[in-house]
Structure 1
């Protein structure tokens, strides 16, 4: 009886611990996401469930189009993005990522095999198999260079040369800059980078932020393509980066910056791009699309931003989903015809040998 009571108490303690852990994860605000920092309003929570970005660099300027899908109960939030130089901000085309996903999607191919496998006669069921800048001098610590309403975004284009000044600006607008985030901003200050600060607010009063937000497009001068990732060091959960790089050649990241090695999901040239992709690339005759994905199991180990460079070659790559198909002729498996033919040949050879043997024996008599 006492043993059963002890077991019941232990089970209750474990259950309460799990509930407390789950509640703690729900209450913890997500300060970092992908390549920017998200700061929810005090007393609320906001997490980024998915982030997909496209980067285009023409040799002089860079454009990043980002789509965020968020969860939480925050009526407002601030998003901070470090950039090498002053950026212009506008809404991105919501169809862009649908087009890129379609371009990079795995293709379906049929692959034939000779010998029967699981799913082939005389075995079981059918089976499908799948493969896979310069900073200006004498600027004030914080300078608001423009403000506009873009869909659910109240955009304040902000330059800040001091994290403390940025903290004050956020406080004036109802947000609190976490001390850890201020620390992570210091390397950008040392490099004379600037920030874009954007207030996220629902289209209608009384609503909270949630679901997929309209894409945001940031354009800024850059000597080489870069994707800011350092602020993701503050993320508490593993992070996945999905990145499309658009250019004249196949591109790659210079290093893993503390995550797993980036994987290429697609690499290929798209001729005469239309739709949102054509608009983004100024309807160039062709554009090379490189789709990368990278997993960060321990975001605290992220060491730097992603420097993006040209790959050694422009060899194409596309994932494929294979359907295994047994080789047949007229609906009859080739292996069966082959085995049958071999058996017939062996039978004929055996019969011929036996006939010759009998003929020799008859001749001896």
Structure 2
């Protein structure tokens, strides 16, 4: 499976053609296509794993259109180890968290006419002054730089000098992270061939860093200009509840909760909780998503009810009805013939 399903939602980024500033719409970072392209990131899937005091975020973006100088950045609370992730991870997560399919049988003889049907899904009882370059590396099609900075302006100046597209709002949106001494991971496309472009789903990147809490960075999305939908998979030792959302009024919808078996989710952090959330006004964002252990580990799975016709019993029912109808018709015909015979006498 070379293309990963984007469960997490639609995270549209504005075009940068004709001088329009790209919107910072990704859930935990920002996608920056080059100024000559009309490529946009339309989705992002992320897995947040937390064990003890270590957190991992693995993410992949889906890009529509081609961009030869695409890039994105992501803030993390501490120094990060950056590496390529499992190429089939998100496909497996999507399969594991799908609604349970419950079949309800019908024996109605008129199949697929919408009679006695019920397929509705329901929920069961989401280089410059002031910048320190920590590390630079090439991973697959990406050139990765880890850096720290004294101010948002210093970091954006460095990004601009090094070929990144820099929106006007980026410095202000980076400032809270830099004030808290977070590290910035900047990623650019590094084509192996001249003229190579990025499109489709990007290879997943995995960032590992120290963190006492489970956090999913959101504050850079403050610069987005369109409504956003975010889906976050959280793998930990127990089921988790959200303790902070990007702003008051954002509601998380639980998609799945339960222990799962997957090579990427080793025990004891094999309890997967999936949430999705939509927010219509990204400019109101003031915080990240944070999670903590829930009061219980009750499992949860959505249910989709599907009504299916039982072909054999339906056939028997049709034959039985046919026999009754034929029998009735024969009886009526017999009575008519008897009456006619009696009349002739």
Superposed pair shares fold, TM > 0.5: yes
Q: Work out the CA distance in 1 between the residues paired with 2:45 and 2:118.
A: 29
Match status 1:322 vs 2:305: yes
Residues 40 and 64, structure 2, Cα contact 8 Å, conserved in 1: yes
Moved over 6 A (4+): 23-26, 326-330
1:66 aligns with 2:59: yes
Describe the shift of the 1:328–1:164 C-alpha distance in structure 2 as closer, same or farther (beyond 3 A): closer
State the 1:58 CA deviation.
0.5
Task: Please tell me whether the aligned partners of residues 39 and 79 of structure 1 are also in contact (alpha carbons under 8 angstroms).
Answer: yes
In structure 1, runs of 5+ residues without a counterpart are: 1-22, 133-139, 334-365
- Distance, in Å, in 1 between the alignment partners of 2:86 and 2:181 is 30
Matches of 1:243 and 1:176 in 2, distance apart? 27
The answer for the alignment partner of 1:242 in structure 2 is 231
Question: Could you tell me how far 1:175 is from its partner in structure 2?
Answer: 2.2
Pairs aligned (count): 294
- Cα distance in 2 for residues equivalent to 1:210 and 1:316: 37
Worse-superposed segment, 320-329 or 205-214: 320-329
* CA distance 1:325–1:163, shift in 2 (3 Å): same
RMSD: 2.9
Q: Which residue of 2 aligns with 1:269?
A: 259
CA distance 1:121–1:102, change in 2 (3 Å)? same
Task: Please name the residue that 1:301 is paired with.
Answer: 284
The residue that corresponds to 1:363 in the other structure is none
Matches within 5 A, 1:1-365: 27=18, 28-32=20-24, 33-111=26-104, 120=108, 125=113, 127-132=117-122, 141-258=130-247, 260-270=250-260, 273-274=261-262, 278=263, 280-281=264-265, 283-284=266-267, 287-324=270-307
Question: Is the 1:41–1:174 Cα contact (8 Å) retained in structure 2?
Answer: no
More helix as a share of residues = 1
Describe the superposition over 1:160-212 as per-residue Cα deviations: whole angstroms up to 9, x where unpaired: 23212212221221124222111111111221212111112334221222111
Whole-Å Cα distance in 2 between the matches of residues 329 and 202 of structure 1? 58
Maintained 8 Å contact 1:248/1:287 = yes
Which protein is bigger by CA-based radius of gyration? 1
User: Counterparts of 2:282 and 2:111 in 1: how far apart (Å)?
Assistant: 47
Unaligned runs of 5+ in 2: 1-13, 123-128, 318-345
Tell me the TM-score normalised to structure 1 length: 0.72
When residues 42 and 268 of structure 1 are mapped into structure 2, their CA distance, relative to the original with a 3 A threshold, is: same
Superposition deviation, residue 71 in structure 1: 2.3
Deviates more, 1:243-252 or 1:43-52: 43-52
Change (3 A) 1:241 1:98: same
Shift of 1:45: 4.0
Are 1:130 and 1:320, in contact at CA under 8 Å, matched by a contact in 2? no
